[in-house]
Chain A
């Protein structure tokens, strides 16, 4: 038990212990002050400034209605970047969870080697995403390491431009993203697997269930909370990503990996603040629109299973 100082007069005894005196509201004031100034007010301003012509070229800021949005729509950026962001998020969620789950199954038993491997697969998670992006840019260059390895195996010179395809580069970049975060998904699936009662699995095995059967009908359903967490965080988190794409492709080739945040960063750099703000509002709406139904439906599935 923690020691309690008693050098002050016992004031609380005379008064009734109401919530107001025992848990005073001023304790929340500093947190909500910071939250309001640095988070809530900018979020509200985002709604206002999306409808202005705010830029670095003018001194005045005027309301221009939905001009920014019609601009974004008619230039094709809105639809293209939204599409790219959603595809990116889905691919990341798939890769991160498939890799993470496969690693968790592979490293499930508590052996010395498995413990070392678990720690090793977590190292990319603690690395900077920007650094990971540069490392893979070097590996995936036409004259880079991957092509030289493939050349060594096939015996011919291989010159695949891994980051130069307008169709497949997004898959390559999301594979990198999945590689960086698979260790986190692995740990969460491992923790989920640990919560499953060993007796249930043993009973199933005695009854003659194969490894695949126990996986399918016992372990997978019981992993629902871990799946909820992993799918929700990877899907929503990757919509807000920037670093890996900026380091590998900067949104290219031909804008095929241009995420909303890449667009926001570039237009902000060019002084087009109004359009960047409008795109930022679209990101906000996109995340919110997906977050609530996603979390709700995954939670519901958890309850049914």
Chain B
């Protein structure tokens, strides 16, 4: 009986290996397809960015795949940096990014803790309102009206408030779901020892939120770093950010055909995010996909 089972398994395994062997050609075709897809879909656009950013203005008028006759990458990067005011724009982008991300995480996590733990009709209504921004698009025109009324139009504080208002819902949605999976007994143990709510929150809850806060940081930072639409309405012409200055450089007639400078600008602007991505690749990929497939 046992011997019989073993032979059946043996035959099955052999059949299975045969099946695998049949699909051998795909082991050569698959890597070739991957390389081809990367060359066509990514290689060509990225190649064009780099060679065009290295060309002279005349050479770059009609962007193509050819190498520059004479590499001027360093000069173009320097010109784009100074003419696009990239130093100030970088500071402006960080000035908006850092407080917005920090604020939205702190305020969002605090609210989520209560919304996850307390159960009443009022709390569930508050939760629904709290996550409404996940779907509802921000009312960008009346945001400007309101900011004018309260004197924050065109200011960094106004823009930070708008970014926080837009992303609090996402943070509350992610963090509340996460806190519900943390056993409440952990808090109770601390409370028995006399910890106040604020201590419980910062000493027990916050240290456990690492993964979900990382996800939220990535999503919010990626959005704010690249945002140009809301920035055009709120701080356009008042504050320099990297995307706003790219928009100005590219849409002012002076640079209409200066693809070399525009692409040099794109290169510099993409570099910080690319470095962050390379360093924190695993974190970012698992962060972005978490929550999506549950």
Contacts and interface: CB of A to CB of B under 8 A. Distances in A.
Interface string A44-73: 011001000010000000000000000000
Interface residues of B, number: 107
B164 A38 contact: yes
Contact of B168 (A39, A120, A225): A39
Contacts of B187: 22
Say whether chain A's binding surface is mostly helix, strand, loop, or mixed.
helix
Say whether chain B's binding surface is mostly helix, strand, loop, or mixed.
helix
B64 interface: yes
Nearest to B116: A23
Contacts of B228: 128-130, 242-243, 246
Nearest to A194: B293
Nearest to A268: B141
A149 interface: yes
B21 interface: no
Interface of B: 12, 15-16, 19, 23, 30-31, 33-35, 37-38, 41-42, 44-46, 48-49, 52, 61-65, 103, 107-108, 110-111, 113-115, 117-119, 126, 129-130, 132-133, 135-146, 150, 161-162, 164-166, 168-169, 172, 187-188, 190-197, 199-201, 203-204, 207, 222, 225-226, 228-229, 232-233, 242-243, 246-247, 250, 259, 262-263, 266, 269-270, 273-274, 277, 281, 284-285, 288-289, 292-294
A23 B117 contact: yes
A144 B64 contact: yes
Given A45-B145, A134-B266, A247-B250, A148 B289 contact: no
Contact of A131 (B137, B203, B246): B246
A268 B233 contact: yes
Contact of A141 (B15, B63, B250): B63
Interface of A: 2-6, 8-13, 17, 19, 21-25, 27-28, 30-32, 34-35, 37-43, 45-46, 49, 54, 103, 106-107, 109, 111, 113-114, 117-131, 134-136, 138-139, 141, 143-145, 148-149, 179, 184, 187-188, 190-192, 195, 202, 205-206, 211, 225-226, 229-230, 236, 239-240, 242-243, 246-247, 261, 264-265, 268, 273, 276-277, 280-281, 283-284, 287-288, 291
B269 A128 contact: yes
